[in-house]
Structure 1
Amino acid sequence: MTDMPSPEFTVTVFRESTTLTVWVGGELDYDTSDGLVDMVAQHLTAESVRLSDVRLDFRDLTWIDSTGLAALLMIHRRTAAVGATLHLDRRPDFLDRMLHLTNVLDHLTARTSRADPHGHREDDGYTGAGAT
């Protein structure tokens, strides 16, 4: 059996004020998922200014498997923990199908609550739903 080289996986990160935008290209799978989660986690904790939005842009995504889906769930968990809203932008049809079939689209893009310094949670009234 010959291992086929996986297509190039790329991640491009932009930070503007309180928004982190991550362009994801190639295959989000077993070999690449941990790297994406780690990169987002580093940015969530790296700056003194708290992020309010994390935008994953999938315009160049070519494939996602169940490990990639698990990575999106982990990223959602980490963004919600810091009070940031996760956005899944420019989703290709195959990603939308997976998110609908697994019934996680609404969970991943649900509005988040912001925590105040005293630990109280407050609904910010902002929704992360929808692709742009």
Structure 2
Amino acid sequence: MTTAPAHRENEFTTAAATSQDCSLMTLTICGYLDFESADLFLADATQAISQPLGLHDLRIDCTKLDGVDSMGLSALLMLHRRTTAAGVRLCLDQRPAALERVLTITGTRAYFVPHHQPQVPTVRVATRRVASDAPPAQSPGT
């Protein structure tokens, strides 16, 4: 996990931008997402997803994210639970190396990085099991 320096150059801030049809919101975060800022981040993000009707995607722009600790990861996971409950897809964009490492080590990357593979329709095929070791069936009376 990344440790925040004793003297922070940047305070933690968030800024939200919504598409014209309100289906997409981008929340830009700046600073360290840690013990001190996790509650602010979660409050801002929760307020953002509760406002626009018809929101389908929430993208968190992490370009200016300076680092994340376990409390910051916890806030991201809580946001994932809230967006899932609201039927909103969540994605972390422009993830810095430190965040990517935390997500990979903790096994949580899949929650925040969507799979861009088209869904292949499932085809159900009826199969019949044939026992190869079974003796051949004899006709009655032979």
TM-score, normalised with respect to structure 2? 0.71
Over the matched positions of the two proteins, sequence identity in percent amounts to 34
Which residues of structure 2 form unaligned runs of 5+? 1-5, 120-142
Query: Which residue of the other structure, out of 2, 10, 15, is the alignment partner of 2:13?
Result: 10
Aligned-partner SS, 1:22: strand
Contact 1:18–1:50 (Cα < 8 Å) also in 2: yes
**Which amino acid counterpart does residue 93 of structure 2 have in structure 1?**
D
User: Is residue 99 of structure 1 aligned with residue 99 of structure 2?
Assistant: no
Deviation at 1:46, TM superposition (A): 1.9
Deviation at 1:50, TM superposition (A): 2.5
Alpha-carbon RMSD across the aligned residues, in angstroms, is 1.8
Rg larger in 1 or in 2?
2
Deviation at 1:5, TM superposition (A): 4.5
User: Is residue 42 of structure 1 aligned with residue 79 of structure 2?
Assistant: no
**Which amino acid counterpart does residue 82 of structure 2 have in structure 1?**
R
Contact 2:57–2:89 (Cα < 8 Å) also in 1: yes
Aligned-partner SS, 1:30: coil
Aligned-partner SS, 2:26: strand
Q: Distance in 2 between matches of 1:70 and 1:83?
A: 20
Contact 2:55–2:88 (Cα < 8 Å) also in 1: yes
Contact 1:44–1:79 (Cα < 8 Å) also in 2: yes
Which residues of structure 1 form unaligned runs of 5+? 112-124, 126-132
1:68-103 deviations in whole A, cap 9, x for unaligned? Answer: 000100110111111110011000001000000000
| Structure 1 or 2: more strand by fraction | 1
Q: State the partner residue of 2:29.
A: 24
User: Is residue 56 of structure 1 aligned with residue 60 of structure 2?
Assistant: yes
Q: Distance in 2 between matches of 1:110 and 1:23?
A: 18
Equivalences, count? 109
**Which structure 2 residues correspond to residues 48-127 of structure 1 after superposition, within 5 A?**
49-110=53-114
